[in-house]
Amino acid sequence: MELDIWSDIACPWCYVGKRRLEAALEAFEDADNVRIRWRSFELDPNAPVEGYDDGPQRLATKYGISRDEAVSRMTQLTDMAAGDGLDLDLIGARGGNTFDGHRLVHLAAHHGLENEMKERLLRAFHAEREPIGDHATLKRLAADVDLPADEVDDLLAGDQFAADVREDEQLAAQLGIQGVPCFVVDRKYGVTGAQPAEQLLAMLDRAAAGDAS
């Protein structure tokens, strides 16, 4: 069973969705046969590499709301994510461009560390105030999951896996995916959003039943 997941490192709902998927997989009888592929999706391709100092104001500007409303939304999401075992710091997040982070995930996939790299990047962005577009930061995060330092250096110095990121985004457009997280099993069964684990499990069960029929 192939499970493609489109998500962005800068998307807190994607982090929540990852946790809920993990809960669903724990309850799925055939979880060992699920091949997860993390697909790239950029919510803000024009985000600055160096990040920003005021996340709530950036959110307020993007959605045309007050800064207080932005803080309120972030606080509500932080409280909700705690129920899924996540300790987030959305108000203090420094942001940054996620393109190179997505390239790192593709590199990690070649070493069987795709999920570990994705998790490390999500935690760094949403809980640790890391500037996720900064190359020195990305090198340190890659080292945390034991990616070869020389390969990481080569990637960040060039354009390796840039085409792969663009291909993921083009495929998302072809499939009509406009929001993330988006979970697609075998290109037949899909769920968009950080849905409850029960709904994600239902998607997996439906896919398994379809494969068996």
Amino acid at 25: L
Nearest to 181 by CA among 7, 15, 36: 7
The pLDDT value given to residue 213: 40
The residue-averaged pLDDT of 4-23 equals 98
Structure token pair of residue 152: 């990481």
- Say if residue 195's pLDDT is above 60: yes
Global pTM?
0.94
- Say if residue 149's pLDDT is above 70: yes
For 112-146, the pLDDT digits (tens) are: 999 999 999 999 999 999 999 999 999 999 999 99
Nearest to 117 by CA among 132, 106, 130: 106
- Say if residue 212's pLDDT is above 70: no
- Say if residue 53's pLDDT is above 80: no
Structure token pair of residue 83: 């129920």
Q: Specify whether the CB–CB gap between 20 and 52 falls below 8 A.
A: no
The residue-averaged pLDDT of 73-92 equals 95
All structural domains of the chain with their residue ranges:
2-212
**What superfamily would CATH give domain 2-212?**
Glutaredoxin (3.40.30.10)
Write the Ramachandran bin of 47: left for phi over 0, alpha for psi from -120 to 50, otherwise beta.
beta
Structure token pair of residue 110: 């070649």
